[in-house]
């Protein structure tokens, strides 16, 4: 690795870490400003005296100024302690880990599906611009782009779970089965609908971007020249088109981590899929501040990893970054 590349990576990482800190601060203050009272939520129906309440507040550090509380919380987080989930009565880090493992299967499947299908359809649409294929794909994407994810989920449920009964109504496994007994095929059976729903969220965006990018490339001077040198459509697309849209496509695919996470919250709720998204909603509705904060931070980290990966891949693939601007010869 050369110096320029190292500096590029260093700058990217530093900037993103700074962002992560800022995000954690904002989330912390938003959650702690909420009118919901974590102590009430913790105590539930239990009757306590004011002194006991004050004791709990002190133990949680609720009587300290916000900045100090943030620093204590931040310090704990850095040491791997994200507090205790009030809803699950388990350490937040444990809940996050468990739920994320379930979510990543869903998000990963949807990510790969939408990336592949979106890219292929986008390329097809761009290559055959103006033909009926393009028109169908374009209309499909434009409509899809303004369709609510959760509604698509509901339609999927109606058609494939209720009417056709091909797939179960929800959850990640059959009800009443212990985790160890669930077979792989049962898991897949439960995964299909949520994964399809979630992949549809991102697909429109990927198609439209890929299409536009490919059209731009195919109208570029260098493709004109390649055409003038006798390359046919197939050669133009494979030699120049795909090469030049690969980078933006990869960036888009990783930048889409953010939308993917948001979409998974909706998809998991429609299908009662027990992942991070369902937990986020439950945490909010049950005033589970530590868990909510943990999930917010985790989602930011997730987006962060996506962007970082995109930047690293960019640095490795793009010769203009990789080789620097040296002129010799």
Partner 1 sequence: MAEAKFQKVETGGMNRRRKVLLIIAAGVLALAVISIWGACMDPAKYAPNYEARRLMPSLSHLFGTDHQGRDMFFRTICGLSTSIQIGLLSAVISSLVALFLGSLSAVFGGRVDTAVGFMVDLCMGVPHLILLMLISIAMGGGAAGVITGVAVTHWPNLTRVIRAEVLQVRSAQYVQIARKLGMSKWHIAAKHIVPHVFPQYLVGLILLFPHAILHEAAITFLGYGLPLDTPAVGVILAESMKHLATGMWWLAFFPGIALLLVTQLFDIVGDYLKILIDPHSARQ
Partner 2 sequence: MEKEILLEVRHLSIGFESYNAKVEKVIFNAISDLSLTVHKGEIVAIVGSSGSGKSLLAHAVMNILPDNARTGGTMFYKGELLTPERMNRLRGHEIAFIPQSVAFLDPLMQVGEQVVGTLGEKARALQQKAFEHFGLKQSVAKLYPFQLSGGMARRVLLSTSYVAETEMIIADEPTPGLDLKIAIEALKDFRLLADQGKGVILITHDIDLALHVADKIAIFYDGRVVETADTQTFRGDGQGLKHPYSRALFHALPQNGFNLQRCPKCGATCATWNVDEKGMRCGCGNS
Contact at 8 Å (CB) between 51 and 302? no
Residue 280's binding partner out of partner 1, partner 2, none, with CB under 5 to 8 Å set by partner kind: partner 1
CB of 230 to partner 1, least distance (A): 27
Site map 33..72 versus partner 1, x via CB under 8 A: xxxx------------------------------------
Q: Give the per-residue SS3 of 119-164.
A: HHHHHHHHHCCCCHHHHHHHHHHHHHHCCCHHHHHHHHHHHHHHHC
Q: How many residues bind partner 2 (CB under 8 A)?
A: 29
Number of C-beta neighbours around residue 283 at 10 A:
26
Q: Which is nearer to partner 1, 176 or 230 (CB)?
A: 176
Q: Which residues pair with 85 in a beta bridge?
A: 90
Instruction: Give the tokens for residue 87.
Output: 């809803």
Among 200, 303, 311, 314, binds partner 1 (CB under 8 A): 303
What Rg, from alpha-carbon coordinates, does the chain have?
24
Of residues 26 and 316, the one with the C-beta less far from partner 2: 316
In the complex, the smallest distance separating the C-beta of residue 125 from partner 1, rounded to whole angstroms, is 12
Q: What are phi and psi of 90, to 5 degrees?
A: -140, 160
Q: Is 270 in the site for partner 1 (CB under 8 A)?
A: yes
Which does residue 328 touch among partner 2, partner 1, none (CB within 5 to 8 A, set by kind)? partner 2
Q: Which of 295, 245, 236, 249 is nearest to 97 (CA)?
A: 295
Q: Which of 281, 308, 312, 313 binds partner 1 (CB under 8 A)?
A: 281
Q: How far apart are CA 131 and CA 115, in angstroms?
A: 23
90: which strand partners?
Answer: 85
Of the candidates 224, 269, 11, 252, the residue with the CA atom closest to the CA atom of residue 115:
252
Contacts to partner 1 from residues 4-33, by CB under 8 A: 15, 18-20, 22-23, 26-27, 30-31, 33
Query: Should residue 163 be labelled a site residue for partner 1 when binding is judged by CB under 8 A?
Result: yes
Specify the DSSP class assigned to residue 179: G
Position among 130, 305, 317, 318 found at the interface with partner 1 (CB under 8 A): 130
Contact 3, 320 (CB under 8 A): no
Nearer to partner 1, 17 or 55 (CB): 17
Based on CB atoms, which residue is closest to partner 2, 38 or 223?
Answer: 223
The interface with partner 2 within residues 233-252 (CB under 8 A) comprises 235, 239-240, 243-244, 247
Residue 313 interacts with, from partner 1, partner 2, none (CB under 5-8 Å by kind): none
Rounded to a whole number of angstroms, the distance between the first and last alpha carbons of the chain is: 22
φ, ψ of residue 51 in degrees (nearest 5)? -65, -45
Task: Looking at residues 301 to 320 of the shown chain, list those that interact with partner 2 (rule: CB under 8 A).
Answer: 318-320
Give the C-alpha separation, 170 to 190, whole Å: 7
CB distance 61 to 316 below 8 Å? no
Pairing of strands 90-91, 84-85: antiparallel
Residue ranges binding partner 2 (CB under 8 A):
130, 219-231, 235, 239-240, 243-244, 247, 318-320, 323, 325-329
Residue ranges binding partner 1 (CB under 8 A):
15, 18-20, 22-23, 26-27, 30-31, 33-36, 129-130, 142-143, 146-151, 154-155, 157-158, 162-163, 169, 258-259, 261-263, 265-266, 269-270, 280-281, 284-285, 292, 295-296, 299-300, 302-304
């Amino acid at each position: 690795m050369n110096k320029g590349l190292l500096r590029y990576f260093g700058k990217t990482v530093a900037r993103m870490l700074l962002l992560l800190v800022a995000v954690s601060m904002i989330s912390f203050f938003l959650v702690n400003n909420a009118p919901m009272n974590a102590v009430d939520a913790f105590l539930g129906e239990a009757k306590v005296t004011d002194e006991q309440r004050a004791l709990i507040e002190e133990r949680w550090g609720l009587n300290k100024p916000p900045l100090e509380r943030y620093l204590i919380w931040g310090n704990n987080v850095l040491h791997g302690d994200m507090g205790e989930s009030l809803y699950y009565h388990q350490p937040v880090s444990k809940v996050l880990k468990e739920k994320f493992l379930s979510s990543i299967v869903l998000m990963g499947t949807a990510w790969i599906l939408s990336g592949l299908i979106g890219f292929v359809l986008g390329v097809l649409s761009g290559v055959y611009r103006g033909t009926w294929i393009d028109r169908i794909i374009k209309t499909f994407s434009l409509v899809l782009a303004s369709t609510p994810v959760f509604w698509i989920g509901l339609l999927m449920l109606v058609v494939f779970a209720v009417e056709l009964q091909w797939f179960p109504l929800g959850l990640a496994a059959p009800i009443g089965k212990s985790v160890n007994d669930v077979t792989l095929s049962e898991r897949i059976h439960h995964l299909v609908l949520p994964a399809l729903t979630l992949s549809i969220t991102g697909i429109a965006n990927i198609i439209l971007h890929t299409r536009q990018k490919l059209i731009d490339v195919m109208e570029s001077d260098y493709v004109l020249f390649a055409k003038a040198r006798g390359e046919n459509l197939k050669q133009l697309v494979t030699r120049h088109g795909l090469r030049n849209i690969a980078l933006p496509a990869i960036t888009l695919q990783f930048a889409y981590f953010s939308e993917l996470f948001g979409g998974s919250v909706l998809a998991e709720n429609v299908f009662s899929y027990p992942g991070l998204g369902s937990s986020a909603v439950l945490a909010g509705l049950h005033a589970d501040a530590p868990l909510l904060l943990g999930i917010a931070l985790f989602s930011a980290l997730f987006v962060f990893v996506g962007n970082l990966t995109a930047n690293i891949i960019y640095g490795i693939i793009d010769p203009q970054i990789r080789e620097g601007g040296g002129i010799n010869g």
